Structure 1
Amino acid sequence: MAENEIRDIFVIGLRNAHAMENQALSIMKPQLKRIENYPEVAEKLDRHIRETDGQIVRLEEILDGLNEDKSTLKDLALSFTGSMAALGHTVAGDEILKNAFANYAFENFEAAAYKSLLVIAEAGGHGAAVTGLQANLAEELAMAEWINDNLVALTTKFLSLREAGETAKV
């Protein structure tokens, strides 16, 4: 495959990742605003929102280094769909659980995107991008692992709150 073709694929992937991270913010921020009975989830979500802001900066730096811009249209479209997805769970009696399931899936989706981008970066000779992409990947994997490690405790707390007659509100 020609080097310019790999570059084009890489740029598209970076733009997609940028939009994906904006979508993640549009999912996480509304969740954070609604959390009342799960301070450990709120703390981790708040921290990951800040990490996501940093991931966006890293992606923009990589795109800048390639003299490319982000895709504003993709950013807007995925942010909108993320907001709609977050809104969809608010009517559920088990919103906290549905959010955890969706977040776990999304974190793994993001990790897969970064693994793929790392392969493309190496194939295209874009070594300068590797450190930033590896940092983003590590943060996504850490968040997915945290959700996985805390899902039993979260579900147990949800059941306990419901049993006590509390709303178990997110």
Structure 2
Amino acid sequence: MRHDNDTALDIYLTGLRNAHALENEALSIMQPQISRLEHYPELLARLKEHVRETEAQIKRLETILKDFDEGSSTIKDVGGRIMGGLAALGHSMAGDEVLKNTLANYAFENYEIAAYKSLIALADATKQSAHVKLLEQSLGEEIAMASFIENHIEDTTLKFLRLSEAGRTAKV
């Protein structure tokens, strides 16, 4: 199923592998947060839902890669998991962990949105129209998550402030 323009297809396949690694990194960032969000039940519920969405996004990317008899990049996947784990660990030591995570998650979601928009453009350019629907589904999930975070930044910040002022553990 190679496209006439091997350069375009190579760029698309690299983008797919990068997105796969990015989604694995996202899991390694979100999963540690879930175990630490006892004071933020709405955020906790949404993060759990997004972990399930992210797992489905990884499967969609694997399905697309299989169309080309390609796999993901183990090096990129492992590297992404390590980087995500280090980021989560670094935030967990901060007194304002939930705020740092909220801001980082918002930035990360927007990065993923850009990645999926790029992949959709590449799928169109390489005439891989069957992939567009799968990529658009993932894009929609990322947009919804970014919107959720954006709509809750103020509430999360103020709840953190109230907990801190009350002398309660406000990290998570």
Bin the TM-score by the shorter chain.
over 0.9
Q: Quote how far apart the aligned CAs of 1:91 are.
A: 1.1
Matches within 5 A, 1:104-119: 104-119=106-121
Matches within 5 A, 1:17-166: 17-166=19-168
Structure 1: gaps spanning 5 or more residues: none
Q: Quote how far apart the aligned CAs of 1:48 are.
A: 0.2
Structure 2: gaps spanning 5 or more residues: none
RMSD: 1.1
What is the one-letter code of the residue matched to 2:65? L
Whole-Å separation in 2 of the counterparts to 1:3 and 1:68: 17
Q: Quote how far apart the aligned CAs of 1:66 are.
A: 1.6
Is the 1:48–1:143 Cα contact (8 Å) retained in structure 2?
Answer: yes
Whole-Å separation in 1 of the counterparts to 2:108 and 2:131: 23
Identity across matched positions, percent: 54
Q: Secondary structure at the match of 2:35?
A: helix
Whole-Å separation in 2 of the counterparts to 1:97 and 1:134: 29
Is the 1:36–1:169 Cα contact (8 Å) retained in structure 2?
Answer: no
Q: Quote how far apart the aligned CAs of 1:3 are.
A: 1.5
TM-score (ref. length: structure 1): 0.97
Q: Is 1:169 the equivalent of 2:171?
A: yes
What is the total number of aligned residue pairs between the two structures? Answer: 170
- State the 4+ residue runs in structure 1 displaced beyond 4 angstroms: none
Whole-Å separation in 2 of the counterparts to 1:52 and 1:13: 17
Q: Quote how far apart the aligned CAs of 1:86 are.
A: 0.5
What is the one-letter code of the residue matched to 1:57? K
What is the one-letter code of the residue matched to 1:23? E
Per-residue CA deviations over 1:136-160 (Å, capped at 9, x if unaligned) read 1000011000000011111111111
Per-residue CA deviations over 1:74-94 (Å, capped at 9, x if unaligned) read 100111011000000111111
Is the 2:123–2:132 Cα contact (8 Å) retained in structure 1?
Answer: yes
Is the 2:25–2:81 Cα contact (8 Å) retained in structure 1?
Answer: yes
Is the 2:94–2:171 Cα contact (8 Å) retained in structure 1?
Answer: no
Is the 1:114–1:137 Cα contact (8 Å) retained in structure 2?
Answer: yes
Per-residue CA deviations over 1:60-85 (Å, capped at 9, x if unaligned) read 00001121111111100111011000
Q: Quote how far apart the aligned CAs of 1:169 are.
A: 3.0
